[in-house]
Structure 1
Amino acid sequence: MKHLFLVAFLLIITGLFVAANIYTFIPIYQSISDSIHISIEKAVLGGSIFSFFYAIGLLTFGPLSERVGRKKVIVYGLFLSIVTTGLVSFSFNEASLYVFRGLQGFALGSFAPVAFAYTFEIFPVQHQTLVLALINSGFLIAGILGQLMSSSITYFYGWENVFYCFAGIYLVLFIGSLFIYPSLPVTKKDDASLLQDFYKIVRNPALVICYIITFSILLSFVAFYDGIGQYLNEQHGADEQTLFKIRAIGLIGASLSLFTGKFVQRFGDRRTLLFGLILATTSLIFLFMSQTPGLIAILSVPFVASISLLFPSIISLVGKLGEHARGSAISLYSFTLLTGASLGPIIASTLDFPILLVMLIGVFIFNIAMGLRLKFSYEKGYH
């Protein structure tokens, strides 16, 4: 039991620092553009390239882990992450920034889908949901941690040291992974068709509904916080420090993930999912009625709490429904999640904040309808 605690701790910490690198560029675009003499727009494109190759990594490494083993992919993925993260520090022009950041994104995409599938296989059923919830909470916290580390290190030591620091962290995690993670037997045959796996997944009605809901979860979270930032800055003159405090207050809601296991044990995955969707919808409706900075800070807590419930409940459903193609199913989940997240800033920048709230309310009402259909499909035995 003590060893499983170490495994869980390492998975959670690794997830936190892997996801943190998704956000490291956001506060240092100006520093990078000044250093290598490119426009801020081109520096921003470096972040988009990272996301694109990260998504490719998510689709690649989950199925690969079913053929060579979960531990091998996590360990070698971390080694690759050390090298590629260090390379980002050596970016000297636009092309090198894009190449190194793309390689880093691909390497870091090796962790999330494999870690989720590994959790289903290594932990007893009664502990799976809690571990999944804590890993996902780490992904939420990473949005703040990544920007805080990046801006702080850049302020004192220069932007290059951000990636030296993360490479050092990945080195420690790599060493820990070598000795702490137990190896599991590989049950997937080498000649099993990857396309056949994905074909079975997309023909499963319950999984398709899960992916529809998944697409909107991180999209809504990212759009919500981007929208808040733009609205408070334009309408109330809020500075970055104020926005940071509001984001940090909202993350209190992530603590609900500690109780997700209890929710699932008592009510089941589907009811927990529906409760999270209803909580998100209710929070957004109250926020639409009054959009003062204080109320935004307060209502962001239940909204983040709802996201903390949705992540582990939906991935628990995907893992169970994916069965023998679990690695592929979770890879597709991770890819769908990230694709939705990449659209969040675009939607937030296009819509006024009240209209954004109406759109998000509509999205979650639609998700509730999908969740009710998921209950029917799941009980009918589509798995």
Structure 2
Amino acid sequence: MNSKKLFSAVFFLFSSIVLGIGIYEILPIISTVSHNFGVNSASSLKVSTFFSLSYALGFLVVAKLNGKIAARKMLLISLSIVALFTLAIGFAKNYVSLLTLRFFQGAFSSFFTPIILSTVTKIFSQEWVPVVNSMVTSGFMLASVFGQLLAMYCVNTWGWKVLFIIQFLLIVIVIIGLYVILPLKPEASGPRIKSVQVK
């Protein structure tokens, strides 16, 4: 693997951590959400539930759009929408708007995984595909740690709104990086199988 491909693999890992943070960031700040929006803890948990539910539904949308929209274009547009919704969460005025924003944040965040895993098979050689795919999936596991640590640090240091501003900035970095890294028309890197005519 050359240095460019290695950088791409590491950046995919970083990107999966950034996108995975959204799944876990609410858990450590349940009490803060309850206090700021005047709801009980059970209602605060719905903020996380709405994200997870829409995240699952988002996979179905990606499946429907597959082949109709270029993967690179679909990924960059979806992440741009995620960035906007993430920033808006930090300025949510009430509980209902918070739930709504989290729902759409989760729905569009789900576009990342299937598109990236599909892209990996096209820009990396076959021997490196399992390694890079493992890095991407590992990123979501690491996000469970970094997401909660980041949330607690932001809440204790600057306040809960700053958490989503920082996440917004991280997503913007991901968008810029993927815009540069992802080829316009990725081609499979593995060996091609030639058709054989049977006489």
TM-score after normalising by structure 2 = 0.88
Query: Which residue is equivalent to 2:148?
Result: 147
- Are the counterparts in 2 of residues 69 and 185 from structure 1 also a CA contact under 8 Å? no
- Are the counterparts in 2 of residues 46 and 98 from structure 1 also a CA contact under 8 Å? yes
Question: Which AA in structure 2 matches 1:149?
Answer: L
Question: Which AA in structure 1 matches 2:48?
Answer: G
Question: Which AA in structure 2 matches 1:41?
Answer: A
* 2:36 is the counterpart of 1:35: yes
**Cα deviation, residue 40, structure 1:** 1.4
- Greater relative contact order (CA < 8 Å, ≥ 6 in sequence): 2
Query: Which residue is equivalent to 1:117?
Result: 118
* Matches of 1:183 and 1:7, distance apart in 2: 15
CA RMSD of aligned residues (A): 1.5
* Matches of 2:107 and 2:175, distance apart in 1: 17
Question: Which AA in structure 2 matches 1:39?
Answer: N
* 2:12 is the counterpart of 1:21: no
Matches within 5 A, 1:9-158: 9-158=10-159
Question: Which AA in structure 2 matches 1:13?
Answer: F
- Are the counterparts in 2 of residues 37 and 93 from structure 1 also a CA contact under 8 Å? no
Deviations 1:174-230 (A, max 9, x none): 1111112112269xxxxxxxxxxxxxxxxxxxxxxxxxxxxxxxxxxxxxxxxxxxx
The sequence identity of aligned pairs, in percent, is: 23
- Are the counterparts in 2 of residues 57 and 106 from structure 1 also a CA contact under 8 Å? yes
- Specify the SS of the correspondent of 2:23: coil
Paired positions, count:
186
Structure 2 portions without partners, runs of 5+: 188-199
Q: Which has the larger radius of gyration?
A: 1
- Are the counterparts in 2 of residues 38 and 93 from structure 1 also a CA contact under 8 Å? no
* Matches of 2:120 and 2:184, distance apart in 1: 12
Question: Which AA in structure 2 matches 1:84?
Answer: F
Matches within 5 A, 1:266-285: none
- Specify the SS of the correspondent of 1:66: coil
Query: Which residue is equivalent to 1:4?
Result: 5
**Cα deviation, residue 62, structure 1:** 4.3
* 2:138 is the counterpart of 1:174: no
Question: Which AA in structure 2 matches 1:102?
Answer: F
- Are the counterparts in 1 of residues 119 and 186 from structure 2 also a CA contact under 8 Å? no
The structure whose residues are more often helix, as a share, is 1
Question: Which AA in structure 1 matches 2:107?
Answer: F
- Are the counterparts in 2 of residues 78 and 107 from structure 1 also a CA contact under 8 Å? yes
